[in-house]
């Protein structure tokens, strides 16, 4: 009999955004950094991403986070983010879910109250603060990537929409930022399909007209994301709230407001002079879930104001499962997967390793 190939999973969600955490079943990957291991997966083992996000095992709206041993001794664990659009180097919601998973899996032991630890993402080390009450992970606060405004209030002609005004922020990916009300949206759940179609048209028009380059990373590919901004409500001193919706790939509005989308909003509010260090912005999704972004201050990089920020949210564990990988199944393509499968009943990452 052929050995049964299984992958161990912990499914989680933050703000409705499902992150499927791979806790076991994958061999160690080559590469002396998590970024290098991500590039190996992308270039030589993309079958894992496709297996877990496509039929019959997954759906495109999910994300996948592969736990790997850290390459930096300061980190408790490493993780590689996989989405339908590829391999982002960072994601706020995925980081919140991964941090919760390492606590629930015992890779980091839970401590009552506030505790701190470090994860290693493809973007580098990420400082994590967890709030634990009665053994429950009530909140995760993680660093957002340094964010900045690349373009402010440009216009573009979009078929069927006319002239659209947009700004562009970088916050882990390039985001087009548009005013929802100016496009006739109130950011309610019944608008989800129309929001996705509108965002797709705008993103395609921007991609056809121009590209974007990060001030240190250079070319990071075409602009992939769009963030619809609702009006900003001043709730209390130093606390703001805004309805939001983030387009992440064709046909899909993310179920959460996204951590990187929230970071992009903070960069725009700083650019417009409407926020001060220490202020917080709560973004609220179509499903009434939210993240809280805190503006930490600004570093000057050449001509750019680069915003330091943190994102807070809560993740929920929704399933533990083993996926059976049957390479004889015509719905499963093992051609870029079989060489990283453990090939045996394997166990999750050892907390002591």
Q: Would you call 91 a catalytic residue per the annotation?
A: yes
Cα–Cα distance for residue pair 290/349, rounded to 1 Å: 30
Scanning 1-104, the segments in alpha helix (DSSP H) are 34-44, 47-53, 92-104
**34 token code pair:** 């998590």
Structure tokens at 237: 């001193």
User: How far apart are alpha carbons 250 and 308 in whole angstroms?
Assistant: 30
258 and 93 Cβ atoms separated by less than 8 Å: yes
Distance CA 283, CA 291 (A): 6
Query: C-alpha angle 99/75/279, rounded to 5°?
Result: 55
Contact between 80 and 87 (Cβ < 8 Å): yes
What gap in Å lies between CA 350 and CA 54, rounded to an integer?
28
Question: Are the C-beta atoms of 68 and 77 separated by less than 8 Å?
Answer: yes
Which among 91, 121, 244, 285 is annotated as catalytic?
91
Catalytic residues: 91
């Amino acid at each position: 009999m052929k050995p049964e190939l299984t992958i161990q999973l912990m499914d989680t969600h933050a703000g409705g955004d499902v992150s499927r955490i791979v806790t076991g079943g994958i061999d160690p990957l080559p590469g002396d950094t998590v970024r290098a291991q991500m590039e190996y997966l992308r270039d030589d083992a993309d079958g894992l991403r496709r297996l877990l996000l496509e039929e019959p095992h997954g759906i495109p709206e999910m994300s996948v986070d592969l736990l790997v041993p850290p390459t930096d001794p300061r980190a408790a664990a490493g993780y590689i983010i996989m989405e339908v659009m590829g391999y982002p180097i960072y994601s706020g919601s995925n980081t919140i879910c991964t941090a919760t998973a390492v606590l629930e899996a015992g890779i980091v032991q839970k401590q009552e109250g506030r505790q701190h630890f470090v994860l290693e993402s493809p973007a580098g080390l990420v400082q994590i603060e967890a709030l634990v009450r009665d053994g429950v992970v009530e909140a995760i606060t993680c660093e957002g990537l340094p964010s900045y405004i690349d373009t402010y209030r440009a216009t573009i002609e979009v078929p069927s929409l006319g002239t659209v005004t947009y700004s562009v922020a970088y916050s882990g990916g390039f985001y087009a930022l548009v005013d929802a009300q100016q496009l006739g949206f109130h950011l309610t759940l019944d608008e989800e399909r129309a929001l996705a179609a509108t965002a797709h048209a705008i993103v395609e028009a921007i991609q056809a007209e121009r590209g974007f380059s990060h001030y240190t990373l250079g070319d990071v590919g075409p602009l992939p994301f769009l963030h619809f901004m609702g009006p900003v409500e001043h709730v209390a001193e130093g606390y703001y709230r805004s309805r939001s919706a983030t387009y992440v790939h064709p046909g899909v509005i993310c179920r959460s407001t996204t951590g990187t989308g929230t970071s992009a909003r903070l960069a725009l509010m700083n650019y417009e002079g409407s926020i001060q260090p220490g202020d917080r912005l709560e973004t609220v999704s179509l499903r009434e879930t939210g993240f809280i972004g805190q503006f930490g201050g600004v570093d000057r990089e050449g001509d750019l104001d680069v915003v330091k920020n943190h994102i807070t949210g809560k993740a929920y564990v929704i399933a533990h499962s083993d996926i059976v990988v049957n390479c004889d199944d015509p719905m499963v393509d093992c051609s870029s997967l079989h060489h990283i499968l453990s090939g045996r009943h394997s166990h999750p990452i050892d907390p002591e390793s």
